[in-house]
Amino acid sequence: MKLWGGRFQKTTDRLVEDFHSSISFDQRLYKQDIQGSIAHATMLGKVGVISPEEARQIVQGLKEILTEIEQGQVEFDVAAEDIHMNVEQLLTAKIGAVGKKLHTARSRNDQVAVDIRMYLKDEIKVIRGQLRELIETLLTLAEQHLSTVMPGYTHMQRAQPITLAHHLLAYVQMFLRDMERLADCYKRTDVMPLGSGALAGTTFPLDREYTAELLGFAAVSDNSLDAVSDRDFAVEFCAAAALIMMHLSRFCEEIILWATGEFAFIELDDAYSTGSSIMPQKKNPDVAELVRGKTGRVYGDLMGLLTMLKGLPLAYNKDMQEDKEALFDAIDTVKGCLMVFRPMIATMTVRKENMAKAARGGFTNATDVADYLAKKGVPFREAHEIVGKAVFYCLQHNKTLEELTMAEYKQLSPAFADDIYDAISVEYCAAARKVRGGPAPEAVKQSIARTREMLQQI
């Protein structure tokens, strides 16, 4: 039988029925759909649109259906199109004609809008929890490597000595911003559209604030046209998810590089690595590579949503059915990547000596030599030129800055003294940068303390 088919003379073509149906993917909204319906029926009973007894029957029937779904006793019907009609059909079959009153003063347009918002609110909480755990893991790792010196890079060239703790805290800042963005997105998702009807509200005397209270929404939508057609919150989430994935991908790129024989800064745990089908010596960072690769999926989800919405007039259009698969995929991808990324980082072995050796090469302390001269009164631009000549001299004579004799230093500038050797050890170079946000152990400790305090507030 054709749904809502009073004005039609033909049944829906089977191909169209399959094409039109969304139950294959929106069935995951069953819990939110039933919760929304329970609140709606309770409110209808409260304001007298249906009797208290009818409301009681509907609520009891919906609770039973929820239990049956969770116990795997329900097989959804493609012909019923979506999760909303499937639940309503199940309810009517269970309690009879009273079940048909559930849809009073409600449209599938505001029903799906409230379902998606409830679902996304739950998932945002989960993902924020995963980010919190990742940040805690990175902070713990940073505390273990306050003095682990490594080269910092610009343009993928060794630049200046830093510490692994300092490097890890850079990603902590990224993930903190991700948490804040999700909290912001949550605020705009936490608005209840139910009661907006198809687009113009309803003539029934609804108590929307009471429904919002039952469902745990902080606010009620203020325009029915916008309420049923708004998917900004979904786009905003996918944008936040894309940034999370970008941060994970950048981190994974470094993990992949660090795990190579050329860098040898870390070794990944066997549980988070794979082998080769033909080369027995290989240990591949496949988890990190997959996270890097899956980033493109979430970018695609974001672009799909934006493109779907960009040409839609108000209010609801069937195109908007396409919002769910993109949103669900972004949620699933981010959660899946965070689930494996955190333990991969937590279990990796850090090769401290290799990091320190790399920090001592590539003249990463050249800036410190220039700073040394500047502190001796040499204008920095002049100091920069002197050190550039010193590096060129070292390259010609296969030496490092630490290996230059005092006589060689004096030929470059009379400002050099014996204390230059203390000033250019990579350990000192990192430890001397005590400015807030710098790599010195004491600065990093303060940053960790501030981060832990911030975590309690967001």
**DSSP helix/strand/coil, 163:** strand
The span from the CA of 385 to the CA of 369, in Å, is 11
Contact 394, 404 (CB under 8 A): yes
Contact 315, 225 (CB under 8 A): yes
C-alpha distances (whole Å) from 29 to each of 59, 336, 405 are 18, 19, 73
Residue 350, token pair as written in the block: 């850090």
Residue 266, token pair as written in the block: 């870390």
Contact 338, 247 (CB under 8 A): no
The most distant pair of C-alpha atoms in the chain lies apart, rounded to whole Å, by 101
Torsion over CA: 427, 429, 434, 440 (sign): negative
Tell which residue, 421, 397, 398, has the closest CA to residue 409: 421
The span from the CA of 434 to the CA of 419, in Å, is 19
Catalytic residues: 155, 276
Q: Torsion over CA of 89, 95, 98 and 102, rounded to 10 degrees?
A: -50
The span from the CA of 94 to the CA of 34, in Å, is 14
**DSSP calls for 76-112:** --GGG-SHHHHHHHHHHHHHGGGGGGGGTT--HHHHH
Strands of 195-342 (E only): list them: 219-220, 266-267
What residues contact residue 221 under an 8 Å CB cut-off, 6+ apart? 191, 192, 193, 195, 196, 227, 230
Strands of 29-156 (E only): list them: 149-154
Burial 195-205 (b: 16+ CB within 10 A, else e): bbbebebbeee
Residue 313 is classified by DSSP as P
Residue 285, token pair as written in the block: 């960072």
Alpha helices in 310-440 (DSSP H): 323-346, 352-360, 366-375, 380-397, 406-412, 420-423, 426-431
